[in-house]
Structures are given as structure tokens and as C-alpha cells.
Amino acid sequence: MFAGRVICLAYTRAAMKRLVILISGRGSNMQAIVDACARERWPARISGVIASRPGAAGLTWAEAQGIPTCALDHRAHADRAAFDAELARTIDDLGGDGQGHGPDLVVLAGFMRILGEAFVRRYDGRLMNIHPSLLPSFAGLHTHQRAIDAGCVLAGATVHLVTPELDHGPIVAQAAVPVLPGDDAASLSERVLGAEHVIYPRAVRWWVEDRLEVQGLRVLHSGGEPQWLFAPQVE
Ligand code: GRF
């Protein structure tokens, strides 16, 4: 007769990491993360999706998955600080544990608002972003056109932890894709996006599994999977 401890393989609710995802538009990275979380049975749940635009297409998809959603219109707020404060309240409401702790991780997935220093510091170490370039090259906007104009033959995407300096935090993972003759910003962005959908869920999973160690600007991953992806295949 089995007399040992009862081993429960299911994660308890308390052990589940609470993730809140912020979007602004179609939310394809959000979908990739939500899908991977369910498919790979991460010890995590998506506690909410918040959009910075009321009509964001990704909200409809998230609602259809039964995820609590909210839209905050930055134009309805007096200034950046007021918007950031309301955003933080909403994040902590959706992702809180009911005992005063906010979410374990806030995931920026195509969130097109610059966040102020106070907001970033509030979520220090638990704020992740994906940027569509190989940082530190091409921080900011119009990354694909700028990579083409600079004559780059490689472009890509970077998952990083967010610090107050825009697009400059510790790098968790990067993916490189070729820039092909004849590419324009749209075709390159589509190729990069395909790679984003691979590395972003992977990086969030590493964080959920406590496999990341931050040393200054370097992030070390323990677990055997590479922190880089070369995606030379062309559809
Ligand atoms: C992605 O390319 C992301 O890197 C950038 O904005 C785009 C968002 O796409 N910040 P989606 O909303 O995830 O489909």
C-alpha cells in the first residue's frame, strides 16, 4: 500500500504566477503568449489584458478567451502621470492577489505608450517588453524602415526587461531574420513578427519558471534553451 506523501502534480492557485498583458492594437504577441501558456501548461494565468486604445482589436480576442479586459484611453487623462497612475491601479486590480500584491509580471505586447519613470520603478524587475529590432540598434519607432535604410542584412526583435531608459533594459532573448533584397517595411515587419511569436512566449515562460538571473544588463538563462533564435527561413 502506498504510504508516502500525496504528491499533487497540479499547481495550486497560490503557486500560479499572475500575468497582466498590455496591448495597443491587434495583439498577436498577446495571443502567442496566451496560447503558449495554455498549451504548455505554464504555472501561470493571464489575469487580465489592458489596452491603451478602446478599439484595440486584441481586446475582442482576449474577451472571447474569457480573460478580463479593460481599455484605458490616454486622451481621457490630464497628463502622462495621471494615465500611468490609472494604469497601475488597473493592473493591480486585475492582477492582484487580493492581499495587496500586484501581478507577478506585466507583459508589454505592442503597447505603444511610453511609460514614465515612476511607473517603471513600481514594476521594477517584473516588466517585460518586446521591441522589433536587434537592440541596442534602432530603439524607438520605425525600426524596420530604419534597418532597411541603414543597409542591414539582418534585422530582428528583442525581449528585454524594462528600465526607465527607453528600449534599453537587460536583454532576455533576441531573434534575427534576414533583410531580403526588395524588402519594404511591411514585408520585413511580417518576417520579424513571426520570430517575435516564438521568442516572446519562450522568454515569458522562462520568467514564469524562475529561470532568469539578471546581472546588470545581462540576463542569464538556466535551462538549456538558447536565448537567441536565427530564423533564416523565408515564407
Ligand atoms: C510588434 O512588432 C511589437 O514588437 C511592436 O509592435 C508590434 C505589435 O504587434 N512593439 P502585435 O500587437 O503584438 O500584433
Average pLDDT along the chain, 235 residues, taken 10 residues at a time: 40 80 97 98 98 94 97 91 96 94 97 95 97 98 98 98 95 98 97 97 97 96 93 71
CA-proximal residue: ligand 1, atom 7 (nearest): 110
Please give the Cα distance from 24 to 9 (Å, whole number). 36
17 close to 44: Cβ distance less than 8 angstroms? yes
In eight-state DSSP terms, residue 13 is: G
Do 173 and 229 meet the contact criterion of CB atoms below 8 Å apart?
Answer: yes
**Looking at residue 232, what is its pLDDT?**
83
Q: Cα of 192 to ligand 1 centre, how many Å?
A: 10
Reported as half-sphere exposure (CB side, CA atoms, 13 A), residue 196 has a value of 27
CA pair distance 212, 215, nearest whole angstrom: 10
Q: Name the E strands within 39-121.
A: 44-51, 69-71, 105-108
Cα–Cα distance for residue pair 157/199, rounded to 1 Å: 9
d(CA 188, CA 29): 16
The reply to whether ligand 1 has any atom less than 6 angstroms from the CB of 25 is yes
pTM value is 0.93
Give me ligand 1 centre to Cα 110, in Å.
4
